[in-house]
Amino acid sequence: MAILVYGRHTSYNVQKVLWLLDELQVSYKHIELGSNPGDTETDEFGKLNPMRKVPVLVDNENVVWESNTILRYLANMYGSVKLNVENAYQRSLYERWMDWSQTYFEPAFIGVFWGYYRTPTELHNMEEIQKSLNICMNCLGKIDNQLDTQEYLAGNKFSLADICAGVFIFRLTEINLDVSLPKNVERWYKHLQRSKGYPRWVMSDFSSLKGRLQY
């Protein structure tokens, strides 16, 4: 049976998984779920993910949740050679950027995306948004330094690191805030757009989220 991916296509966590599946040329079926209130509250969904969040991946008897864990699972199962999973040190070169993206870049991105785009204009707290934006710019600076001598975050090959950090760039530059990308980040961003999954999933219309705080 084909791999199933549950999740709404406007979720950047879902997009990370769909992007990797396209990159690995693994066939899958995407099941749109999470856009309507109560979608993740059913008994059926609770059995797949007790946290009631998307994405969830079902690969025959294997059920996996948490987007970065799904990425690692897919890399191990279907991309071990392409994605350098065999060697612990090589793996650590991209895993550090995955963890950093989730624990440092993502909270700042959420501060900007939720604070500015998802929160209705009349409720904006510009001071808080600016603080988060400053941290995002600092993150872009770190990425820029890393890309000074190499094409991708973990070296000269695409890796899971590029997915976890790269997913934020499109929205950061598309929400009408003054975000100009440092030059190495700009070059990397152009590379990412050449992979099939980035334009297809990440660069998709997210206007249904504007001024919407429900999910």
Ligand X SMILES: N[C@@H](CCC(=O)N[C@@H](CS)C(=O)NCC(=O)O)C(=O)O
Q: Shortest approach of ligand X to residue 34 CB, angstroms?
A: 4
Q: Return the residue matching tokens 């059926």.
A: 44
User: What percent helix, strand, coil does the chain show, rounded to 5?
Assistant: 60, 10, 35
Q: Does residue 215 interact with ligand X by CB under 6 A?
A: yes
> Residue 154 or 163: which CB sits closer to ligand X?
163
Selected binder of ligand X within 6, 13, 136, 171 (CB under 6 A): 13
Q: Which of residues 24-43 bind ligand X (CB under 6 A)?
A: 34, 40
> Could you tell me how many residues of this chain bind ligand X (CB under 6 A)?
11
Q: Which stretch binds ligand X (CB under 6 A): 18-26, 51-59, 158-166, 168-176?
A: 51-59
Q: Which stretch binds ligand X (CB under 6 A): 24-32, 50-58, 115-123, 154-162?
A: 50-58
Helix (H, G, I), strand (E, B) or coil at 15: helix
Q: Shortest approach of ligand X to residue 123 CB, angstroms?
A: 20
> Residue 34 or 111: which CB sits closer to ligand X?
34
Q: Does residue 54 interact with ligand X by CB under 6 A?
A: yes
Pairing mode of beta strands 28-31, 62-65: unpaired
For residue 106, which of 2, 11, 204 has the smallest C-alpha distance?
Answer: 11
For residue 20, which of 60, 50, 64 has the smallest C-alpha distance?
Answer: 64
Distance from C-alpha of 129 to C-alpha of 175, rounded to nearest angstrom: 13
> Residue 67 or 195: which CB sits closer to ligand X?
67
> Residue 75 or 147: which CB sits closer to ligand X?
75
Phi-psi region of 111 (alpha: psi -120 to 50; beta: other; left: phi over 0): alpha
Q: Yes or no: say if 53 and 215 are a contact pair by the CB < 8 Å rule.
A: no
CA torsion sign for 157, 78, 31, 118 is: negative
Q: Shortest approach of ligand X to residue 79 CB, angstroms?
A: 19
Q: Shortest approach of ligand X to residue 81 CB, angstroms?
A: 25
Residues in contact with ligand X by the rule CB under 6 A: 11, 13, 34, 40, 52-55, 66-67, 215
